[in-house]
Amino acid sequence: MPAPQMHQRQALVEEYARLDQEVESFKPRLQRHEKLRQLILDWHGNLAPEAEATVPGETCDIIITSRDRVRTVTLDGKQKLFKLWGTRGFIAKSLVLLKSLPDPKDEMSLYSQQALTGPRHLHVVARVAMKKPAGKSAA
């Protein structure tokens, strides 16, 4: 690999490592944010889906919005789609959530399969400074 391209890649690796360290150090704040969010929502657990609420603070207010609209297919709709698409088409287009399985872990693979097809992850590993043996120079 040409030296300029290698230098550019090394610079990108270093930048990623610095950003990764910042993100890792920020995760506790994100977790605290989510915990507080859930606590505030729990104060208004009986709020009607279409209702909004204002939670007052000293310097700001928090508005709890109405719930988002979520579309789902009804039982009647599933029956009509089954007729429209046929058995094979319906099964191919259906989505079964793993938590809906009789045994969600499905360790015997009766209902599901596992494969290494998920996303890849990058882990930053700091290099240990290596001492060069006396009398030898770098090539």
pLDDT band (50, 70, 90) for residue 124: confident
Residues, the chain: 139
Structure confidence at residue 139 (pLDDT)? 46
Quote the pTM value. Answer: 0.62
Q: What is the dihedral of CA 31, 32, 33, 38, to 10 degrees?
A: 90
If pLDDT is split at 50, 70 and 90, which confidence band does 133 have? low
What are 9-38's pLDDT values in tens digits? Answer: 999 999 999 999 999 999 999 999 999 999
Which pLDDT score is estimated for 134?
A: 61
For the chain, what is the mean pLDDT?
Answer: 89
Judge whether residue 138 has pLDDT over 70. no
To the nearest whole percent, how much of the chain has pLDDT over 70? 92
pLDDT of residue 130: 63
Report whether pLDDT(86) > 50: yes
* 64 within 8 A of 44, measured Cβ to Cβ: yes
Write down the pLDDT at residue 116: 85
